[in-house]
Structure 1
């Protein structure tokens, strides 16, 4: 590919929040949500979907710690990437996290794609304090980045721990690293960025870029244009940093094809079909939320083909309405994989 040329080929994954709700939902319990998350990953792999990705939120009726779920998916699949978007570093101990993630990556045969970041507003105030971290919201912003960098250092396998003079098991002399070591994992870490400055920071530290359905409102341009600028800034900073592997960039989209009456019942009305500007709880500056893409296949192909950020990214995640059950989400993914993706040249 020539310099500055953008590839249309994409890795396509789904992103699930793993909600469960006692009422007004086909998924009513945590057990059902976790089980259906595994089932959806299995069915998605059959369709040729490249990734099964899950949001991580604490104190909520949805997926929490992701590692047991990722391991369960790994046991039932053979090819699909297993990702997060994002693990909230405000809650994480880098040492324990590194051991959990490396173990999961070994079990999955190196299919983990771990998205990390500061996280989003939670269900409780200063929830990380219940994890034993006594920081204010302002302090935790820097702490989250520091923990991410410590985690990155740990998974690179550098020995650091002084060995016991009388260990329980025989071992070679010298400092010890965390085990099990997974040598490819450092190339599979993503930072969830909401601004161009944060995207540049991620590039400088060798993390892939994960950009969601909202970014900081940094100009008066449409969401997809602002997001495309974020991705280009990341790529430029990566090239300048001179890392020894090629980066990946990811965007998330809500795509709801209307091909039957049930689709119309769920999504033909009342959906967010325009960008929206608003404020998150801890943001002083406004953010812009990307619209949902809702319509018949031909309309979606046209609109998605004009999305500049999708053109810039090599990976696109499709948010799925997990509370509508496995069968309906398989239907959405099937239409995207068989009708929309080929028409756009994504596959």
Structure 2
């Protein structure tokens, strides 16, 4: 059994070929797709976060709205760029969204991906401390955020407050119990996966790894997962971790699918450069359900993960993205033992 959800990049474009031509379109359709996915029996609705782009950015209003409109599906991000975040304000936003959803928030955070602008986090008022870089800053913001989610008091109360205070030091409110165990780190390397385990965060791994050893993508990602789980076991955290991978999976079951993705069936891994370093990108899975079942059965990382996020082309609209999710749940997942 696997948790199966979708991951939306939240693009919009004024093109007449796009079903999402504005930020409003993307936000409202994201809510509608989460509702549709829940009705289809999917397990998660996850959204990318990018700044300075025609894509979803500030995630918490959307997560809260999805939480209010659904009752069962997990709601998450993949991923929030912690270089841009005030961990104190983020802890309040996350606590609120988690309480609205009834404890269904699954927050993916990370150092972030390549930016649309140079050092965009500086426009948000953040700069690395002397002798550190932006990655160090992202990890420090994350450390503070995780500590705040523990719910311990840390702030000295005012002796003459507007409202009565509870005894002792004060914590941020609203606090949501259990959210600390539902934070994921988007790891791009095997070493980062080990660091993730040391910090007590779940592992979120996508279709991109920022390293390459010459082996197929799914084998390298499976090694990453193995190292994460071993490190977790060695550290001895108090709860069982989760691992997610994302995949582009497009079952071709009708002529519309064939028109959109019929040429993607022969794709393979790609090796390129991102942020000045070598990276390996995973393949797109497209073809008949029988073909996909055979190919996915050989994907070692998908087999090792407990959660699978299906990347959806949100600009094709809610109806078509829901059709893709349903096709995977109906034609592919049962044959692989995922359902």
TM-score, normalising length: structure 1:
0.95
Following superposition, the deviation at residue 18 of structure 1 comes to 1.1
* Secondary structure of the structure 2 residue equivalent to 1:52: strand
Deviation readout 1:82-118 (Å, 9 max, x if unpaired): 0000000000011011111011101110000000000
Gaps spanning 5+ residues in structure 2: where?
Answer: none
TM-score, normalising length: structure 2:
0.97
1:128 corresponds to which residue? 121
Following superposition, the deviation at residue 218 of structure 1 comes to 3.6
2:322 corresponds to which residue? 330
Separation of aligned partners in 2, 1:52 and 1:267: 23
Following superposition, the deviation at residue 216 of structure 1 comes to 2.7
> Is 1:256–1:293's contact at 8 Å kept on the other side of the alignment?
yes
1:40 corresponds to which residue? 33
Matches within 5 A, 1:109-120: 109-120=102-113
1:14 corresponds to which residue? 6
Gaps spanning 5+ residues in structure 1: where?
Answer: 1-8
Moved over 6 A (4+): none
* Secondary structure of the structure 2 residue equivalent to 1:71: helix
Separation of aligned partners in 2, 1:189 and 1:327: 30
* Secondary structure of the structure 1 residue equivalent to 2:89: helix
2:138 maps to 1:148: no
* Secondary structure of the structure 1 residue equivalent to 2:333: helix
* Secondary structure of the structure 2 residue equivalent to 1:171: coil
Matches within 5 A, 1:47-196: 47-135=40-128, 139-196=133-190
Of residues 304, 321, 328, the one that matches 1:312 is 304
Equivalent pairs, count: 337
Following superposition, the deviation at residue 172 of structure 1 comes to 2.0
Following superposition, the deviation at residue 270 of structure 1 comes to 5.4
* Secondary structure of the structure 2 residue equivalent to 1:219: coil
Separation of aligned partners in 2, 1:270 and 1:299: 13
> Quick check: 56-65 or 210-219, which moved more?
210-219
Judging changes above 3 Å, is the alpha-carbon distance between structure 1 residues 341 and 202 closer, same or farther for their aligned structure 2 residues? same
Following superposition, the deviation at residue 181 of structure 1 comes to 1.1
Following superposition, the deviation at residue 269 of structure 1 comes to 1.6
**What RMSD, in angstroms, separates the aligned Cα atoms of the two structures?**
1.3
* Secondary structure of the structure 1 residue equivalent to 2:165: coil
